[in-house]
Structure formats: C-alpha cells, structure tokens
Chains A and B, each alone.
Chain A
Amino acid sequence: MKVTFVQADGEERTIDNIAPGTPLMNAARDHGVAGILGDCGGSCACGTCHVHVAPEWQAAVGDADDVELAALDMVAHVQQANSRLCCQISAREELDGLRLIVVPAI
C-alpha cells in the first residue's frame, strides 16, 4: 500500500509498498519523514508521531482509543478531532493512498 505524509515544510513524502500490518510510524521513520520521531517505538507513550488524518480518510482510519487519547494529551495544543498517533495505525489495503499531515511535537 501507499501512504503520503505531508511534512510541516509542505514537502509531500509518498511511501510505496508498505507491507500490511506495518505501523505507519515505522514506515515514516524508515524513510526519514521529518517530524515523525517515534521516540517510544510505537508504545503509544510519547506523542512524537502525531498526524492529522486528511478528512476524506478519517472514517476509514477510525478514531483513537482511550490509551491513544491519553497519549495525545501530550500534544493537546495541536490536537484536533482528526488527530492520531500514526504508530497506532497499521498498513492495510483499504488505506491505500492515505494522506496524513505531520504535526511535529517540537
């Protein structure tokens, strides 16, 4: 599958051939997407892989659960209804073409 990360500098980084099941944070880290640090490695504990999901994709991606919402508290100042931590979104076929807007934590 393919995902496009829109970095804070406006540059669009499209990553192709992401294996199903891969957390999107890892895909972003592996390709050096700016603003995705993933300090905690996907443990939903640091808030450094925050993205806003493009509105047309929100329903397919789904909402954050309680644990993720607690982690999103760390970035409450830029949190929106479409905020997700992309370590908690796994690659799957129906998300092919997904657009995520990177929201750097610092």
Chain B
Amino acid sequence: MNTRDSAPVYFDPYNVEIWSDPYAIYRRLREEAPVYYNDQHDFYACSRFEDVERGLMDKETFINGRGNVLEVIKANVQAPAGIFIMEDPPIHTAHRGALSRIFTPKNMSMLEPKIRDFCARSLDPLIDSGQLDFVADLGAKMPMRVIGMLLGIPDEDLESVRQSADAKIRTERGQPMVFAQETASGEDFADYINWREKHPSDDVMTQLLHAEFKDETGTMRKLTRGELLAMINMLATAGNETTNRLIGWTGKVLAEHPEQRREIAKNPGMIPAVIEEVLRFESPGPHAARYVTRDVEVQGVKIPKGSSVDFLIGAANRDHRRFVDGDRFDVKRQARPHLAFGYGIHACMGAALARIEGRIALEEVLKRFTDWEVDYDNAELSSATAVRGWETMPTFTGPGGRAARDARKAEKAASTRVEPTASVEGTWNVVVKSPAGPMPTTLLLERVNGELTGSQSGQGMTTPITDVKVDGNNIVWKNEVKQPMKMKLQFSGVINGSEMSGKVKAGFMGSFPFTGAKA
C-alpha cells in the first residue's frame, strides 16, 4: 500500500487490520521508529530485538507492578496479591518461588504420557473424517486437560474453567481489554480449593495449600487464601490460552510450508526445533508491557518516567539483526534463542510445559496426518489482543479432506449455472447475519454506461460499492465500510428471481451469511 508507505508508520494492537497481520508494520517500526510513540493511546513501543531483550531484563526501570498489558497499566489498578506477573521483587520473587518448586521441568515431563494419550484420543476419531481443526479439536482441549491434571480440577469442571479463561482476555474487536479486578481474583476456584483442602491429592493445588515459603519480609509462611486463588486463576488462564494459540499457529504455518512439513514428518527428531521456529515466527504472546519508573533513553528517544512501554516480542523475533531473513519460516535456521517466552525475571514459568505440549501435539498429528490445507473460509482469528492466534483453525486432511474441499468447489461452481435473472438493477434490502445479530443494509444497483455500479447503506453510512459482477445468477460486489470499523466486505451470492442469498467475507473476521430481497 503506497499511501501508507509514505505516511509515518502507525501501530496499535487494537487496530484489527494491523493485528491480523502486523509483520509489515513491525518491519517498518524496527527500521523507521524503533522506539515508537502512539499519541492516541499514549504508549511507547520497542520493536528491535536488542531493545526488547534489554528492556525485559531491566527490572528496575521497566516494572510489572502496575501490570503487564497496556490496558491494565492505564487502568491504574492494584492487581490481587499472588498474580506475580504483575509484581516486582521482592514479593514477586517470593510468590514465583513458591510456584516454581512445583512447576518444574521434571514434573512437566512426567505428564508426557498423559499428554500423548490425550492427543491420541482427540485425533484418532478424526483420521478418516478428512477434517482437523487444530484449535477446536486439539488446542482448546489438550492444554486445558493438562493444566487441569496439574491442578487436580475434576474433568467435568474443565470446560467451564476454559470458557471463563478465554472470556477473560477476549476483547471486543478493535477495543482495548477491559480490566475488571474481579476477573483476576480466582473466586471461580474457591469452592474447588475448599474441597481440595479436605481431600488432599498429589496435585499442584494440594502442594500449594501446604507449601511454606519465605515471604518478602523473610518470614516463613503458607500462602494466604487470596494469594492462592489469584495464583491458581493466573495459572489456569496462562496454561490454556497461550498453548492453544501455539498449536493453532503450528497447524497454519505448516499448512503453508508443505515441503518443510513433509520433511519434518519423515524426521520427527526435528520437531523440537520446529516448535521453536513457530514460537519465533508467530509468537502467541506477541507483546509485554511495562511501566517506566525513571526517565530513560532508548535508541536516542527519551522515554519519561510514568510512561507505558510495549515491548513487541513478535517484532523482535523477526528482527533481521538477530535472525537472518527473519520474515522467512525456516525450521532449519541456525538455532538462536528467541523472546517468545519473554526474558528476565518474568520469563514464562510454563515454558517447559508449553514446549512439551507443542512437541507432543505435533508428533501425534504427524503420526496420523502428513498433509493438510487450511480451510480459510472458516478459519477465524481471535479478537484477543493480549495473545494473538486463532479461534478456529480448520484444515482439510488426506484424501477425504481433498474430496471435501473439491466437493465444496464443485458446489460453488454448480450454483453459477442457473437460469439468468431478468434484471438485478434496483433497490435490494440486504440483511447480513453477523454474530452480533442481523444487520440490515440497503443495496442500490444501477447501470451506468453499461457497467453495474451503486452503493450500500447501513449503520447510518452510505458507501459506494465496487467490483460488481453478475454472471448468470451469480453476483459479487465489494463494499469498503468505515463503521463499526474499517474493513472490506466481499459479498458473493446467488440471485433467485427477486431474492438473493450468499456469504459476505468480512476481512479476517470470517464469513457470514446474508439474504436479500428486491424492495
């Protein structure tokens, strides 16, 4: 887009269009504005590897105590004690230490056979179906099961816990996350903790209930109920959401790099390196925000005390200064540590678990499926901005999947060979069935110098439509709307007399059905 290239670079994580594919903007940020200031939302953003790495290490200048996402820092609220990703030393050290003794690589690897078994049970029924949704079938289920096993949450309660976790960080599209203190208090788990206290087991919850640790005053004590609830809630959220996104990205990226995928399928020993490359290439946690405690200068830019800085991990992980040809996915690239798990004292404590889950998921997928293609019509990006990834990642797999894909293409083609309609010109009432409810619009089609053109009104705005084509009974047109957000709508429908129906593709938000009737 030439117009944008000449204008100063703009970035914010709430812009849906940028967030759907931020890498061109990231590249411009690294080159043109390595310390970028956004005056609309009042934050700085660092995008080069060296700055992000150094910033995340500098726990005196860039603190977590006001929050680790921009919305929380801006809301200026006190997080409940125990959410140590929003704490600083010394209490951070005490709380994290209490958990780290339980969350060890050793404990994680003991889970391996259970993780493998769970993957197998999810994937086996799909082998002949020709379809696999990396998120719905695997990512949304397995990590939740694992964190549930760790915490000792009964199976029947797992789904409600995951839904609560996802809803907590999901945002209205294009809007900052609303931080409500009660969402982080862990009350969801209170009943469960009470029950577990009376029925000890070998799970994390039981160990946490009894673990003694040295607090910030040097006193040996157990966790308070409030600290414990907050911690458990944080674990359940962190354990579900991020790994789910990693698995979705693994499915997508490998679908788009079939040669590398086939090589990996032949050499499963490459899988740990593949997971690292996916983490680098599509980091599920693409940014970490910090509050600035003192005036500081980065790349010659003065960042005043009291500012918020967003460290763009996703941008740093593609910095060519660190990774040769960083925008290329290459499972054989020289292994160099990335920042997908953060860096410094807040580095992801679940990194070992995430790596194991990612590796086993891919191993088990590749045992059953070596070929898959993304069903882009139905793949939907999550609206969350704290993490970045797919809400659904449906794929066609194997011969069955290819047949399903071809059948759908044939269906589309067949629908074009119906009787031609008399006239499409005129006014149509077109209703889009969006997830937010039916959205009525008025479509005006007219013929000017033999060319079809017109306009469409909705949401109190009228915009000209473009690329109108009628072929037999098929009609397509495009409409670039500004409300409720800027996006391109691509309508494609079939006309049947004075009615039409079809689908409208709304950017990466997905496709919605629409119907129309001649006014």
- List A residues at the B interface (Cβ < 8 Å): 29, 32, 37-43, 45-48, 70-71, 73-78, 105-106
Q: Name the B residues within 8 Å of A39 (CB-CB).
A: 337, 341, 343, 347-348, 351
B345 touching A47, Cβ below 8 Å? no
B105 contacts partner chain A, Cβ-Cβ < 8 Å: yes
Among A43, A77, A106, the residue within 8 A (CB) of B57 is A43
| Interchain Cβ contacts under 8 Å between A and B, 13 examples | A32-B336, A40-B344, A41-B344, A46-B351, A47-B100, A47-B105, A48-B351, A70-B97, A73-B101, A75-B104, A77-B106, A78-B106, A106-B109
The secondary-structure label for the interface of chain B is: helix
B53 touching A41, Cβ below 8 Å? yes
Among A32, A46, A48, A106, the residue within 8 A (CB) of B108 is A106
CB distance from A80 to the nearest CB of B (A): 14
Q: Name the B residues within 8 Å of A74 (CB-CB).
A: 100-101, 103-106
A45 touching B105, Cβ below 8 Å? no
Chain B residue with the shortest CB-CB distance to A41? B343
CA distance A71 to B355 in the complex (A): 20
CB distance from B276 to the nearest CB of A (A): 10
Contacts A32-B334, A38-B337; A43 near B347 (Cβ below 8 A): yes
Q: Name the B residues within 8 Å of A75 (CB-CB).
A: 104-106
Chain B residue with the shortest CB-CB distance to A43? B345
Q: Name the A residues within 8 Å of B101 (CB-CB).
A: 70, 73-74
Chain A residue with the shortest CB-CB distance to B345? A43
Contacts A45-B100, A46-B347 supplied; 19 other A-B pairs, CB < 8 Å: A29-B337, A32-B335, A38-B337, A39-B348, A42-B57, A43-B345, A45-B96, A45-B344, A47-B104, A48-B352, A70-B100, A73-B100, A74-B103, A74-B106, A75-B106, A77-B106, A106-B105, A106-B108, A106-B356
Q: Name the A residues within 8 Å of B355 (CB-CB).
A: 106
* Bitwise interface map of B from 354 to 378 toward A, beta carbon under 8 Å scored 1, else 0: 0110000000000000000000000
- List B residues at the A interface (Cβ < 8 Å): 53, 56-57, 59, 96-97, 100-101, 103-106, 108-109, 334-337, 341, 343-345, 347-349, 351-352, 355-356
Q: Name the A residues within 8 Å of B351 (CB-CB).
A: 39, 46, 48
Q: Name the A residues within 8 Å of B347 (CB-CB).
A: 39-41, 43, 45-46
CB distance from B164 to the nearest CB of A (A): 28
Q: Name the B residues within 8 Å of A38 (CB-CB).
A: 337
CA distance A77 to B100 in the complex (A): 14
A37 touching B104, Cβ below 8 Å? no
Among B57, B104, B349, the residue within 8 A (CB) of A41 is B57
CB distance from A83 to the nearest CB of B (A): 14
CA distance A41 to B105 in the complex (A): 17
